[in-house]
Amino acid sequence: MTSPYRKQRVFGIIGRSGSGKTHLISRLVPLFCQQGLSVSTIKHTHHGVDMDTPGKDTFQHRESGAVEVMLATPTRWFLQHQSPTPPKLNDLLKIMKPVDVVLVEGFHVEVPASLEVWRSTTGKEPLFVSTSHIQAVATDSVPLLNPEAEKVFFSLNLNETPSIFDYIQKNLFLWEIT
């Protein structure tokens, strides 16, 4: 009998809005692909987003009460799932096709291995000070001091994508999907 569980290599890219998370992931994905690795991404947002358009068939299906609505085109498909509660990362990973690496943007409370993207120009405090599982910070600023630990926090140059890629490759978390 096979186990209903599988393992997935996952790494989180987190940071405040406007810090450059999406831009960094867009630079990292091609590096994984150049290594012959398959990569998927999950983007978490706290904002309400609707990919549908009022009046379209899929919108009407959803508004009529469908729990899931799938739109299939010749080159891609989209699945909209109505849920009474916010999704958990494990549940999203469970429905995704297994790949070599999943980069997760957001879900900073759930991802056990994370790199924070932080820029002082955003004017926002870094998350690593209050989030223990952040392993490193990619920044365009000087090395950071964690006042709680009174030590220099491991930082990477945000503009050196190959170095960040190497760091992530060495620190991927093996997530057990249950």
Could you read off the pLDDT of 45-60 as tens digits, one per residue?
A: 765 656 677 888 888 9
- Burial class of residue 84 (count of CB atoms within 10 Å of its CB; 0-12, 13-18, 19+): exposed
Structure tokens at 1: 């009998």
Question: In whole numbers, what is the pLDDT of the chain averaged over residues?
Answer: 86
In terms of average pLDDT, the best of 35-49, 114-128, 129-143 is 114-128
Backbone angles phi, psi at 93, to 5 degrees: -60, -35
pTM of the model: 0.86
- The pLDDT confidence band at residue 103, using thresholds 50, 70 and 90, is very high
Q: What number is the average pLDDT over the span 135-161?
A: 74
